[in-house]
Structure 1
Amino acid sequence: MIALQTLRRLLLGSTVLLLQLPSLAHAQMPIAALPVVKPAISCAALTQTDLQPIGGKGSQVLSASETTTDGITACEVQGTLAPSIGFKVILPTHTWTQRYLQVGCGGLCGRISMQVGAADSCAPLNSGGFVLAATDMGHEGMDNSWGNDPQKRADFAHRGVHLTALAAKKLIATFYGQQPTYAYFTGCSDGGREALMEAQRYPDDFNGIIAGAPALNFQVQNSIYHAWQARSNTDEQGKAILIASRLPILHKAVLQQCDGLDGQVDGLISDPRACHFDPGVVQCKASATDTSACLTTAEVNAARRFYEGPRDPASGERLTIAGPQPGSELAWAGVFVPDSVDQPINSEKMALDALRNLAFEHNPGSDFSLADVKFDRSTFDQLRPLHPLYDATNPDLSAFAQRGGKLILWHGWADPHISPLNTIAYHQALEVQMGKSKAESFERLYLLPGVYHCAGGEGPSLLDLLTPMMSWVEKGQAPGAIVTLQASSTQSGPSEFGAPTNLPANAEKKPLIPEVAQDPANEGRTRLVFPYPDVAVYDGKGDVKSADSYVPGKASADEKTPQWMGSDFFTPYAPLQR
């Protein structure tokens, strides 16, 4: 496996690999040469910072103390913004190079995580060049109380992240005697939704925004998608139909049919939309007595429901954009496919937390169950009123673009939590609303074959998007191809970055990103990922494991996302503040 130091060389452009990639747009990745700025006051003095003009009465710094982590000394500030938005800011004392980075929070949040994703081997980050901040978005954990409070709903939807940005910038100005020269935001899953919410609602907060696997379609994503996935895998006795040990049968069949569609058999599907797979090909014969290598009729039907998603029974309209894509089968484990028939299905928990506490204007109560969910227009229409509050699907980014903001979207093709077609739909809506040329001036989309939710998977998933974003913002160099690296099994395990936090108690010790038995032949594999709609195509002569053996090619299925009941969500709308 390539060591971390080698990965840093690969991604930072100081070695042969990048010299061999003349087409790699961000190979040199120039960023502004900003001098280190030292503190103007003591760390302890930050406790006197008045945050009430930002958050209202009761907003305050609770503590400020020096800490040292990985050799970097910093002032760690913790505080609250009224009524109950917790935040943390880490301000380096000897290494700050005038940049600010805010980190998004996954799931339904309720905790503060400072883990930065999609920034592997980013030199300024690793050397303590950024002030970092994050928030719990106004609540701790998930129960029936905070979802009943309109203010806390708004704090979760958008206010907590915005006020944290304002508070962090005030602390920066107070501590160093100047504002940050550049401000960035990065997040995945709900953190990706938060990222887009910032671009849409608060275009002045950040110069560059990175949104990974964004839960931008929050209302439908949590309330219908996960509810459908759970219901689809539950039999009449309330037990799971398809379990994790059966998934390799399905996945192998998908690869046999579709792996070679991109011209290369490598265990990855470059564009799963071109894969028209029917699980019926692995259905056991009626006379079969041994089902170890095939799926039963019930299992096949469950898989079909996963892929197809729910439709309104009257009109036939889709209630979601899409289900999980072909090639994602192994990632279903632990999400809507449990290890055994008696285990709970995590998608049910995810759906019910939203349905009972957040999705409707008036919460239905703790006894609301999946049996109460009707997959039809009436349910969808009950979700519409809060679409302008929680969703981040507004494609009008004119204010963000006008002030020079840059946006990078990214998503793993094998994501089981959020279909990547949601992110493609937003990218396409941007081009329609802003015009393709204008959209290209400030936005990029990267789709990673074989990559799960925010990290891990069978495809190369380690990447640095923060350095290319800095180069774009600070030097005007738009990103091109990105080098990705195959993660080892130890690197594709649990990750806080974007991980759902509203899981059953008995699932908390399980990896949030399923571990994958990596093919030894893929050790050290690097691959280019090109801006959508281009895909990486093997040049036919180089090392298949080396990024410099790939050139841009057109996707075989560059198509518009399908029409569905919420297609109008991806048009401009007035945001709901409450």
Structure 2
Amino acid sequence: MIALQTLRRLFLGSTVLLLQLPNLAQAETPIAALPVVKPAISCAALTRVDLQAIGGKGSQVVSASETTSNGVTACEVQGTLAPSIGFKVMLPTHTWTQRYLQVGCGGLCGRISLQVGAAEGCAPLNSGGFVLAATDMGHEGMDNSWGNDAQKRADFAHRGVHLTALAAKQLIGAYYGQQPAYAYFTGCSDGGREALIEAQRYPDDFNGIIAGAPALNFLVQNSIYHAWQARANQDGEGKAILVASRLPILHQAVLQQCDALDGQVDGLISDPRACRFDPATVQCKASATDTSDCLSAREVEAARSLYDGPRDPATGERLTIAGPQPGSELAWAGVFVPDSVDQPINSEKMALDVLRNLAFERNPGADYSLADVKFDRSTLDQLRALHPLYDATNPDLSAFADRGGKLILWHGWADQHISPLNTIAYHQAVQVQMGKSKAESFERLYLLPGVYHCGGGEGPSLLDLLTPMMSWVEKGQAPAAIVTLQASSKQAAASEFGAPTNLPGRAAADQKPSMMAPRSVAQDPANDGRTRLVLPYPDVAVYDGKGDVKSADSYVRSPNAVDEKTPQWLGSDFFTPYAPLQR
């Protein structure tokens, strides 16, 4: 547990410091004292609730029955919103404290998961104080032929999450005889995009929104970033150049050059933008006979291309904001760097799923391949037509802010799927659009060193943002520093996105791993349980030089000397206000 002298030593302006750790006394983070409300009708009676006013003809509750998990009994409701949006709502029978939490869905969804991330040790959640809900966003499974249906595209883009919120609130009103006092949304990856879609399109749905590693730049992220990451590491025969067994060479070279830039050698890079790493530093000499600890010229060039990302060949301008950041190398395995030269990679699948089915107004067909992708301005311009449908980059959050909504963004610096510079770019765009003072009144960004996509990695990745969000919404106490906890390899392997696995009312079917989940990486057991302060961007936490290096209590606030604008790229205008497409 963090010593309370941290509260006295770290004074962050006029904002009281919030420390969040599993088992940390919740009294230190005040939330509204809301009494438990019991059901007004039976669980089975919810099958008679009419949802057609929300979803249209055919919308209905399919089933409603009581279930018990982890000591919490809840009424589990499953239903459909026309034409085919599946949803699930878990309504506690004895423990509801008037809060609603909707959970986002990762990847291209197609399943219902009530797995809540970024809420490690959140007492009201673990004790069954929330009604929980989630949706499959209008389709089931991994068959992406649904992208031929304009309605299903809209359901995935924005309609599914919004209508689920409306349906869940109607069911809450029917079951308890009252609406929730507060409504929250949390999600990571595409769930983070969904979170921002809610803030941008439907500002009345939620009081507080937590968006982790958001796929907010959805079309460019999937159609260009992942396509490039797959292609850039292939030779003329389509075989991989760099394979997973070579990544530790690259990673160790990065740490050797950049680990100490933040004043501490701990295997973590506080801000990778300060790391000006050139893979050529580990290139084998021409005369080398032993290449076990160096990279060939072809491997070096492939690594450079992966870091840098694609550029328009005519002008040299960037087609994406950035590639993966230095320090993320071990996480590339299986995503865009295979275990062997002829194994499949996730980046190719993710890119082709979107390119063949979602990215263009007219789908190009099932035979479209990565070889057909032109990495130039024309391809990016083709994505502009549906940018206002799928993307969540609109920085105008006036309606959300004016009604008192609060937004927390978070991202791992070592994210291999989505460069954290996308989230920084959005944070900065909100400040430009809204004004810095206004933006700081309702929005925060946290960046986690050494953390992969939505969790896991070499850095402390377990955190609770839900409790600080409740304190902000319900008590007006803005979040400042948070504490992250190092997950052991066993913990990271046991849960998707590094999220906790002991949430009440979650069925076993909700615990299926996602292809987006980070691969488990062997960690130094000596780091198990270490804690670290993370401050709102752009500030960083630095070691005070005196205390236990593995304790958050030994870190203090420091301005970030690397704070800088994100690079200009050909889609920079995507992060300016636009009218959303409803279709």
Pairwise CA RMSD: 1.6
CA distance in 2 between counterparts of 1:259 and 1:553 reads 17
Q: Secondary structure of 1:25's match? A: coil
Distance change in 2, residues 1:102/1:69 (3 Å)? same
Segments of 5+ residues of structure 2 without an aligned counterpart are: 20-27, 500-511
Q: Tell whether 2:560 aligns with 1:555.
A: yes
**1:76 aligned partner, one-letter code:** E
Select between 134-143 and 460-469 the one with higher mean Cα deviation. 134-143
Aligned to 1:207: 207
Deviations 1:142-198 (A, max 9, x none): 324210000000000000000000000000000000000000000000000000000
Is 1:543 the counterpart of 2:548? The answer is yes
1:244-269 per-position Cα deviation (integer Å, ceiling 9, x unaligned): 11100000000010001111111100
Q: CA deviation at 1:315?
A: 1.4
**Distance in 2 between the 1:511 and 1:112 partners?**
15
Mapping 1:224-303, distance limit 5 Å: 224-303=224-303
- 1:290 shift after superposition: 1.1
Deviations for 1:543-562, whole angstroms, at most 9, x for unmatched residues? 11110111111223100001
**Which amino acid in structure 1 is aligned with residue 352 of structure 2?**
L
Counterpart residue type for residue 544 of structure 2: D
1:519 paired with 2:521, answer no
Aligned to 1:484: 484
Asked if the contact 1:483/1:528 (under 8 Å) is kept, the reply is yes
| Structure 1 counterpart of 2:139 | 139
**Change in 2 beyond 3 A, CA 1:425/1:356:** same
Q: Is the 8 A contact 1:284 1:291 kept in 2?
A: yes
| Contact kept in structure 1, 2:111 and 2:135, CA below 8 Å | yes
Q: Is the 8 A contact 2:31 2:471 kept in 1?
A: yes
Deviation at 1:130, TM superposition (A): 0.0
> Counterparts of 1:568 and 1:394 in 2: how far apart (Å)?
10
1-side partners of 2:514 and 2:83: how far apart?
Answer: 32
Decide whether aligned partners of structure 1 residues 218 and 509 sit closer, same or farther in structure 2, where only a CA change above 3 A counts: closer
Instruction: Give the direction of change, closer, same or farther, for the CA distance of 1:112–1:144 in structure 2 (3 Å limit).
Output: closer
Shift of 1:522: 1.4
1:553 maps to amino acid: S
Query: Is 1:577 matched up with 2:582?
Result: yes
* 2:63 match: 63
Per the alignment, residue 123 of structure 1 pairs with: 123
Corresponding residue of 1:568: 573
Residue deviations 1:111-135 (CA, integer Å, cap 9, x gap): 0000000000000000000000000
Amino acid at match of 1:489: S
Distance of 1:525 and 1:94 partners within structure 2: 36
Q: Decide whether the 8 Å contact of 1:240 with 1:345 is kept in 2.
A: no
Q: Is the CA contact (8 Å cut-off) linking 2:75 and 2:92 kept in structure 1?
A: yes
List per-residue Cα deviations over 1:405-451 (Å, max 9, x = no partner). Answer: 00000000000000000000000000000000000000000000000
What is the letter of the counterpart of residue 265 of structure 1? Answer: V
Equivalent of 2:18, from 16, 26, 29?
26
CA displacement 1:450-498 (0-9 Å, x = unmatched): 0000010000000000000000000000000000001100112264459
Partner of 1:528: 533
- The AA in structure 2 aligned to 1:548 is D
Residues 510 and 391 (structure 1), Cα distance of their counterparts in 2 relative to 1, 3 Å cut: closer
Against the structure 1 CA distance between its residues 237 and 160, is the aligned structure 2 distance closer, same or farther, given a 3 Å change threshold?
same
Q: Give the % identical residues.
A: 84
Question: Partners of 1:417 and 1:498 in 2: how far apart?
Answer: 15
Which position in structure 1 is the counterpart of 2:175? 175
Question: Contact (CA 8 Å) 2:491, 2:498: kept in 1 or not?
Answer: no
Q: Report what 2:505 is aligned to.
A: none
Count residues with an aligned counterpart.
559
Q: Partners in 2 of 1:250 and 1:207 — Cα distance? A: 44
8 Å CA contact 1:106–1:498 kept in 2: the answer is: no
Aligned to 1:334: 334
Q: TM-score, normalised by structure 2?
A: 0.94
Does 2:114 match 1:114?
A: yes
Q: 1 CA distance for matches of 2:567 and 2:76?
A: 47
With 19-28 and 46-55 compared, the bigger mean Cα shift is at 19-28
CA distance in 1, matches of 2:366, 2:447: 38
Paired residue secondary structure (2:385): helix
Contact (CA 8 Å) 1:324, 1:414: kept in 2 or not?
yes
- Residue of structure 2 equivalent to 1:384: 384
Q: Which SS does the other structure have where 1:195 is aligned? A: helix
Q: Give the Cα–Cα distance (whole angstroms) in 2 for the partners of residues 473 and 90 of structure 1.
A: 23
CA deviations over 1:262-307 (Å, ceiling 9, x no partner) = 1111110000001010000000111111110001111111100000
Q: Alpha-carbon deviation of 1:22?
A: 5.2
C-alpha separation in 1, matches of 2:88 and 2:6: 37
How far, CA to CA, are the matches of 2:308 and 2:468 in structure 1? 36
Partner of 1:504: none
1:289-368 aligned at under 5 Å gives the runs 289-368=289-368
CA change 1:25–1:383 in 2 (3 A) is: same
Distance 2:494 2:380 in 1: 33
Q: 2-side partners of 1:67 and 1:218: how far apart?
A: 36
Assess if the C-alpha contact under 8 Å between 1:191 and 1:498 holds in 2. no
